[in-house]
Amino acid sequence: MFKKLKKIFYLYILHKKYYRTGSCNACGRCCQKIYVKHKNVIQTEEEFKKLQLLHPFYTYLKIIDKDETGLVFECSKLDKSTNKCTIHKSRPGICRRYPQEELFKMGGTLAEHCGYRLEPIESFDEVFEKVSRKFK
C-alpha cells in the first residue's frame, strides 16, 4: 500500500519519472566535469560571465576545457586532495539536490561510479500499456 501511494505521489504530485536511490560515496566526480545549461549548454566565456551575475554558484566554477557539448567546468570549492567540498554545510541547493532527473533531460548522465541511481518509477511495460491505451 505504501509503495503504491509513494508511486502515485511521485508520478502525479511531484511529476517525477525516476526514484533516486543509493547514496553519495564522496568521490567528488560530479564537481569536476560540469556542463552548465542555461537555455542551451554554455559555449563561450562571454555567455558564462553573464551567467555568473545570476547566481553565486557560477562564480565557484572555472573553465577547464571545451568539447563538442560545450564549456567544461570544475568547481573551485572542491578540495582535490580529499575530494571533499570545502563549503559542504553551506553548499548551494543545486549541489544538495544532485542528482536530479533533470540531468537526463539536459542530455547528461550520472558521473561514473556515482553512488546514486535514478530508477524508472514505471516499468517499460507499464509505460507501453499507457501509451497503447491512448491510441485505442
The HSE-up count of residue 68 (CA atoms within 13 Å, CB side) is 1
| 29 in contact with ligand SF4 (CB under 6 A) | yes
| Touching ligand SF4, residues 59-98 (CB under 6 A) | 60, 75, 77-78, 85, 87, 91, 95, 98
- Does 17 help bind ligand SF4 (rule: CB under 6 A)? no
Does 37 engage in binding with ligand SF4 (CB under 6 A)?
A: no
User: From the DSSP assignment, how many helices (H) and strands (E) are in the chain?
Assistant: 6, 8
114 contacts ligand SF4 (rule: CB under 6 A): yes
Q: Which is nearer to ligand SF4, 60 or 121 (CB)?
A: 60
Tell whether residue 30 is a contact of ligand SF4 (CB under 6 A).
yes
The Cα–Cα gap between 34 and 119 comes to 22
Question: Under the criterion CB under 6 A, does residue 41 sit at the interface with ligand SF4?
Answer: no
- Residue 41: which of 75, 68, 77, 74 has the closest Cα? 68
d(CA 129, CA 44) in angstroms, rounded, equals 44
Contact 91/84 with Cβ under 8 angstroms? no
Residues that bind ligand SF4 (CB under 6 A): 24-31, 60, 75, 77-78, 85, 87, 91, 95, 98, 111, 114-116
